[in-house]
Amino acid sequence: MTAVPARRHEGLYFAIRNGKLLAGLVVLVPLIVLAVAGPMFVEGDPNAYVGIPASSPSAEHWFGTTMFGQDIFAQFLYGMRVTFVVGLLGGGLAAIIGMVIGFTAGYRGGLVDEVLNMLTNIVLVLPALAVLLIVNAYLGIRSVGVQALFIGLTSWPWAARAIRAQTFSLRSRDFVDLARLSGVRTWKIIVREIAPNMSSYLFMTFILLFGGSILIAASLDFIGLGPSQGVSLGLMLNNAARWSALHLGMWWWFVPPGAGITAIVGALYVTNVGLDEVFNPKLREL
Amino acid sequence: MTLRVDDLRVHYRTLRGEVKAIDGVTFDVGDGEILGLAGESGCGKTTLGKSLIRMDGRMRLAGGAAELDGEELPIGDDHRMNPFRFTKVSIIPQYSMSAMNPTRRIGRMVAELLRSRGRQLDTDELGRRLDLVELPREVLQRYPIELSGGMKQRMVMVISTLLDPSLLIADEITSALDVSTQKAVARTLVEFRDRGFVRSMIFITHDISLTYQIADTIMVMYAGKLAEKAPAGVIVGEPRHPYTRLLISSLPEVGVRYTDRRLAGIPGEPPSLLDPPAGCRFRDRCPLAFDKCAEEPPVVEVEPGHHVACWKA
Amino acid sequence: MRRYFGRKLLVYGLTFLVAVTINWMIPRFMPGDPVQSMLARANVSQPAAVEAMRAHYTNLFGLDLPLWKQYGNFWAALFQGDLGTSIWLFPTPVTDVIMRAVPYTLALLIPAILLSWWAGNRFGAFAARRKWLDNTVLPIGYVLTATPYMWLAILLAWGLGIVAGVFPVSGGYSFAMRPNLSWEFVGDLALHWFLPFVSLFLVAFGGWAIGMRNMIIYELEADYSTYLSSLGAPQRLIRRYAFRNAVLPQITGLALQLGVLVAGALVTEIVFSYPGLGHLILQAIQNQDFFLLQGAFLFIVVGVLAANFIIDVVYVLVDPRTRTGMGGEAA
C322 contacts on B by Cβ (under 8 Å): none
pLDDT interval class at B190 (50, 70, 90): very high
Query: What is the rounded distance in angstroms from the CA atom of residue A280 to the CA atom of residue B208?
Result: 34
Contacting residues for B21 by C-beta, under 8 A, at least 6 apart: A2, B10, B11, B12, B44, B47, B59, B224, B273
Stronger pLDDT, A46 or C194, i.e. the higher one: C194
Q: Is the pLDDT of residue A1 over 50?
A: no
Measured between alpha carbons, how far is residue A211 from residues A205, A223, C150 in Å? 10, 19, 16
Chains in contact with C, counting 3 or more C-beta pairs less than 8 Å apart as contact: A, B
Domain boundaries, chain A: 20-35+67-284
Locate the chain C residue with the closest alpha carbon to B105: C320
Q: Is the pLDDT of residue A14 over 80?
A: no
Q: Which of A68-77, B224-233, B256-265, C96-105 is predicted with the least confidence, judged by mean pLDDT?
A: B256-265
Q: Do C241 and B101 touch (CB under 8 A)?
A: yes
Residue type, C180: N
Q: Is the pLDDT of residue B90 over 90?
A: yes
Q: Do B103 and C321 touch (CB under 8 A)?
A: yes
Residue C67 has a pLDDT of 78
Stronger pLDDT, B26 or A224, i.e. the higher one: B26
A264 contacts on C by Cβ (under 8 Å): 146
Residue B261 has a pLDDT of 41
Q: Do B14 and A3 touch (CB under 8 A)?
A: yes
A2 contacts on B by Cβ (under 8 Å): 12, 19, 21, 42, 44, 47, 273
Q: Which of A93-97, B115-119, C86-90 is predicted with the least confidence, judged by mean pLDDT?
A: C86-90
Stronger pLDDT, B252 or B181, i.e. the higher one: B181
Domain boundaries, chain B: 1-77+217-251+263-313
Stronger pLDDT, A265 or A58, i.e. the higher one: A265
Q: Which of B144-158, C20-34, C262-276 is predicted with the least confidence, judged by mean pLDDT?
A: C20-34
pLDDT interval class at C325 (50, 70, 90): low
Q: Coil, strand or helix: which one is B177?
A: coil
Domain boundaries, chain C: 98-330
DSSP A212: H
Residue B251 has a pLDDT of 65
Q: Is the pLDDT of residue B87 over 80?
A: yes
Q: Is the pLDDT of residue C50 over 80?
A: no
Q: Which of B16, B42, B47 has the CB atom closest to A5's CB atom?
A: B16
Range B120-133 average pLDDT = 91
Q: Is the pLDDT of residue B61 over 60?
A: yes
Query: Starting at the edge strand that comes first in sequence, how are the strands of the sheet with B34-38 ordered?
Result: B89-92, B167-171, B200-204, B34-38, B217-222, B225-231, B306-308, B300-303
Q: Do B84 and C232 touch (CB under 8 A)?
A: yes
Chains in contact with A, counting 3 or more C-beta pairs less than 8 Å apart as contact: B, C
Locate the chain A residue with the closest alpha carbon to B41: A1
Q: Is the pLDDT of residue B258 over 60?
A: no
Fold of C98-330: MetI-like fold (1.10.3720)
Q: Which of A133, A241, A269 has the CB atom closest to C297's CB atom?
A: A133
CB of B148 less than 8 A from some CB of C: no
pLDDT interval class at A171 (50, 70, 90): confident
Locate the chain B residue with the closest alpha carbon to A282: B57
Residue range B267-279, pLDDT digits in tens = 777 888 888 888 8
Q: What CATH architecture applies to the domain A20-35+67-284?
A: Orthogonal Bundle (1.10)
Residue B113 has a pLDDT of 95
Stronger pLDDT, C81 or A101, i.e. the higher one: A101
Query: What is the rounded distance in angstroms from the CA atom of residue B249 to the CA atom of residue B265?
Result: 8
Q: Is the pLDDT of residue B39 over 90?
A: no
Residue range B241-256, pLDDT digits in tens = 999 988 887 765 544 4
Write the DSSP string, A39-85.
GGGS-S-TTSB-S-TTPPP-SSSTT-B-TT-BBHHHHHHHHHHHHHH
Q: Do C143 and A262 touch (CB under 8 A)?
A: yes
Q: Is the pLDDT of residue C208 over 70?
A: yes
Q: Which of A47-61, A193-207, A272-286, C211-225 is predicted with the least confidence, judged by mean pLDDT?
A: A272-286
Q: Do C224 and B98 touch (CB under 8 A)?
A: yes
Bond before C91 cis per omega within 30 degrees? yes
Residue A286 has a pLDDT of 44
Picking from A267, A212, A256, A266, the residue whose alpha carbon sits closest to that of residue A231 is A256
B46 contacts on A by Cβ (under 8 Å): 1
> Tell me: domain B1-77+217-251+263-313, CATH 3.40.50.300, correct?
yes
- Mean of pLDDT over chain C: 84
